[in-house]
Structure 1
Amino acid sequence: MFSCLQVLVHGVSVGHTCTFLPSKDGSKGRIVLVGGANPNGSFSESYIINLETHEWDIPGWDGLQARYEHCGFVAESDSLCVFAGAEQTGNLNCVQILHTSDDITGHGLWKTVQVKGTPPSARTYHTNSACIGDRLFVFSGGDAGATPVTDPQVHIFDSVSATWTQPETRGTPPAPRHGHVIAAVGTVLYIHGGMAGDKFYSDMFSLDTETMKWEKVRAKGDVPPGVAAHASVTFGRNIFIFGGMTSEGATNSMFKFHSDKQQWTLVKFEGDLPPGRLDHSSCLVPWRVRTGNSEEHATQNSEPDVKHLCFVFGGMDTQGVIFNDCLVTIVT
């Protein structure tokens, strides 16, 4: 079932990113929300949910260029990065970085990376799952309105060397699109859905990042309808997608893709589902749970069970209602 995480909520937002940052002191960690927008404009602020206290912190981070519908990722080099997105004056293609090894709730500075190589053209690119190791993979994205960029290339940003490359690929790539999700399972990237103009895509493609070969996934099972502006998390060999916009409006469905079986399953929940939404953001949160409730049990240094949660924040429906709720559901 979906549950509403009770936190002291900040304002409504769409097009933000949310990223889980593990704790270094044994606590439950934090979730960082970066950027986003509402009818008043785009944001240059970041917010932190403390999962130990269920309270918001506003870190003293300066330097972020206001943006929404960007992507965010934490590289293995322990830095939080954002790329692309849009602001009121147009699309962006810069990379900004914040070193998370510093005091996460204290003062910090977003720095614009002086990149080497040729960066992708400015675009919207709303995902937080397209990172393998220290490399961010970029394919397609939004140009203007419902029109995607026409660029068919795969762009790779190496966050260690700050270098963009465009490797040659084999096979037939997906059609240009925006609002798609990109998720990594091991060394394979999966691209699902998205839209171009008034067309919603229901297809799925894989890209083996070792051979750089595209393949169309012939998925079976409960194949989702064409959808865009949805969100995804990956756990193990499975990809979970939630929400998005279809030709029928905003949806609140969740689907699970078994990458080994190449099969979709509609996830069924007990109880009420949250409102359908698009342009929200999600991340995977490991949650430590100790079995038993006695004080004696708690002092035996037993390893806690770890459940994995899909965390969802914000988004909007097709009538323009913007949400500020925090939702969680167990995916293990």
Structure 2
Amino acid sequence: MDSTFERHCSELVARERSGHTAVVEDNLLYVWGGYMSIADDEILLPSNEIWVYDLERGVWQVFHMTGEVPPSMSGTCGCSLNGHMYVFGGCDDNGQTSQIYCVNLTDGKYTWRKMIHEMGSAPSPRDKLSCWVYKGRIIYFGGYGHKLLTDVDSRNRSFIVDEASWVEDVFWGWNNEVHVFDPMQASWAEPQTHGRAPAPRAAHASATVGCKGYICGGRVMETRTSDIHCLDLESWTWSEITPVSMTPVGRSWHSLTAVSDNTLFVFGGLSVDCKPMSDGWLLDVETKKWREIEHPFKNKPRLWHTACPGKDSDVIVFGGSCDYILLVDTGHCNDALVFQTQPYPLFRICEDYIAKNVRNFETLRSQLPLLPPKLLTAVQRKMSFYRPSKK
């Protein structure tokens, strides 16, 4: 995987952060929210700005956001649907929330809109949850949050109370609920699922492959797991994948990304013994085999980062912490790590090689005009990505 790289070439660089939201649209990485540490304080980052990273040119820009701006938050669940970014839940200065907001990423205005549902009931407040996008709807799973005593049913194992956290008639805990938001109908629904549901959890990771939503690991009460569960988004049936090979260690605050029609990529997280990790694994969901991959970021552990699919099966990891954030919480990052998970097509190999080496070889520079127009345009855009870093 020689083409794997890490860059933040532009002089303007997004601030360090963890617990943020990031999505990719048209080779642009959009980063919003999260928090950073200053001295002994945890500072939520401004909610009225969005950072945009051009994955081809390696250039950052920051834009002001207007409209019904959400509060500054961390631990929100973000996704991209039809050119819009949706954020739900998260934790602001007053605790967990249950609001959903939307912003158009394609019109250049970055105007927030608070979504008011017309049908159904919103989930209870929560953060550190995950979601899948399927057929124009957003399906949310799990998370850590609070419910009123009247809403906690001891016979229903969809919510496990955190015995260390309760105030009068308010209880905090983990859940394994499935909630569906339809932006076109402005409606919430809670489908009846079948099969054995995963244990309630938070700080897990999720990805969508075809009509199936996968979750991996997370914190289940006081433990961290590496189990894999699948929800069929047509029949709402749960199943667990039992690997037939060596599996990654249990973890939370990691990422899971779909990189092909049958392959998921897991990176980083916090291990069962509370160590930040930098390992990368591929899971073939058809053969049920895990395979650890080599990559050049073994010295860059990350947790509570984001991971987005890029072109040619790349995975773009941004931000996160390199510390055990519950104890140290100083090592927030702002670099973009780009993982190559599959062999590149010939066009991409040529584009990367020429752009990376054109400044070093006079002969290569003089022959640029001879390239096919499409390749020349791609190379010219990519050349700024490989310009010498000013670190």
* TM-score, normalised by the number of residues in structure 1: 0.85
Q: Which has the higher helix share?
A: 2
Give the deviation of 1:74 after TM superposition: 1.3
Question: 1 CA distance for matches of 2:173 and 2:133?
Answer: 21
Please state whether the residue corresponding to 1:173 is helix, strand or coil: coil
CA distance in 2, matches of 1:7, 1:204: 37
**2:301 partner letter:** G
Shift of residue 242 of structure 1? 0.3
The RMSD of aligned alpha carbons is 2.0
Map of 2:352 onto structure 1 = none
Structure 2: which amino acid aligns with 1:242? F
Contact 1:6-1:54 at 8 Å conserved across structures: yes
d(CA) in 2 for partners of 1:216 and 1:232? 16
Asked whether the 8 Å contact 1:17–1:282 carries over to 2, the reply is no
Question: Partners of 2:304 and 2:174 in 1: how far apart?
Answer: 22
1:328 CA drift (Å): 0.7
Report the Cα distance in structure 2 between the residues aligned to 1:111 and 1:70, rounded to whole angstroms.
16
Match for residue 263 of structure 2?
Answer: 238
Structure 2 vs 1, CA of residues 275 and 51 (structure 1 numbering), >3 Å: closer, same or farther?
A: closer
Matches for 1:201-240 after TM superposition, within 5 Å = 201-236=225-260, 237-240=262-265
**Residue in 2 aligned with 1:154?**
178
**Paired residue type of 2:139:** F
Distance 1:272 1:84, change over 3 A: closer
| DSSP 3-state at the match of 2:226 | coil
Measure the CA separation in 2 of the matches of 1:42 and 1:84.
15
Residues in 2 aligned to 1:126 and 1:4: alpha-carbon distance in whole angstroms: 28
2 CA distance for matches of 1:272 and 1:31?
20
Deviations 1:86-115 (A, max 9, x none): 112101111100122312xxx331111001
The separation in 2 between residues aligned to 1:232 and 1:11, in whole angstroms, is: 23
Indicate if the aligned counterparts of 2:174 and 2:202 stay in contact, CA closer than 8 A: no
Q: Contact 1:15–1:126 (CA<8 Å) still a contact in 2?
A: no
- AA aligned opposite 2:36: N
- 2 CA distance for matches of 1:272 and 1:171? 38
Quote the offset at 1:188 in angstroms. 0.7
Which residue of 2 is the match for residue 264 of structure 1? 290
Unaligned regions of 5+ residues in structure 1, if any?
A: 23-28, 287-306
Shift of 1:150: 4.3
Instruction: Report if aligned partners of 2:259, 2:314 keep a CA contact under 8 Å in 1.
Output: no
Between the aligned partners of 2:54 and 2:216, the Cα distance in structure 1 is 31
- Mapped pair 1:323 → 2:333: yes
Shift of 1:177: 0.6
CA shift, 1:80, in A, is 1.4
For the pair shown, the structure with the greater C-alpha radius of gyration is 2
CA contact (8 A) 1:138 1:156 kept: yes
Q: 1:122 aligns with which of 125, 131, 150?
A: 125
Tell me which amino acid in the other structure corresponds to 1:72: G
Change (3 A) 1:32 1:126: farther
Length-normalised TM-score, structure 2: 0.72
SS where residue 65 of structure 2 aligns? strand
Mapped pair 1:72 → 2:39: no
- Structure 1 CA distance, aligned partners of 2:97 and 2:336? 28
Map 1:3-82; keep pairs closer than 5 Å.
3-8=5-10, 9-22=13-26, 29-39=27-37, 40-43=42-45, 44=47, 45-62=49-66, 63-76=69-82, 78-82=83-87
Fraction of identical pairs, as percent: 25
What is the CA distance between 1:151 and its match in structure 2?
A: 3.8
Secondary structure of residue in 2 paired with 1:46: strand
Deviations 1:45-72 (A, max 9, x none): 3211123432211112121321111111
User: Residue type of the partner of 1:182?
Assistant: S
Q: In 2, are the aligned partners of 1:141 and 1:178 still within 8 Å (CA)? A: yes
Could you tell which deviates more after superposition, 239-248 or 67-76?
67-76
Deviation at 1:15, TM superposition (A): 0.5
Match of 1:171 in 2: 195
Tell me how far 1:182 sits from its aligned partner.
1.4
Structure 1 pair 60–184 and aligned structure 2 pair: CA distance change class (3 A): same
| Contact in 1 for aligned 2:72/2:92 (Cα 8 Å) | yes
Measure how far apart 1:122 and its partner are. 0.8
SS in 2 for 1:153: strand
The one-letter amino acid paired with 1:326 is: A
Consecutive unaligned residues in structure 2, runs of 5 or more: 147-161, 166-171, 343-391
Retained in 1: the 8 A contact 2:175–2:201? Answer: no
Aligned residues: 300
Residues 169-204 of structure 1 deviation map (CA, whole Å, 9 limit, x = unaligned): 111111111011111110111111001342111211
Distance 2:56 2:107 in 1: 19
Tell me by how many angstroms 1:126 deviates.
Answer: 4.9
CA distance in 2 between counterparts of 1:263 and 1:281 reads 24
- 1:71/1:208 Cα in 2 relative to 1: closer, same or farther (>3 Å)? same
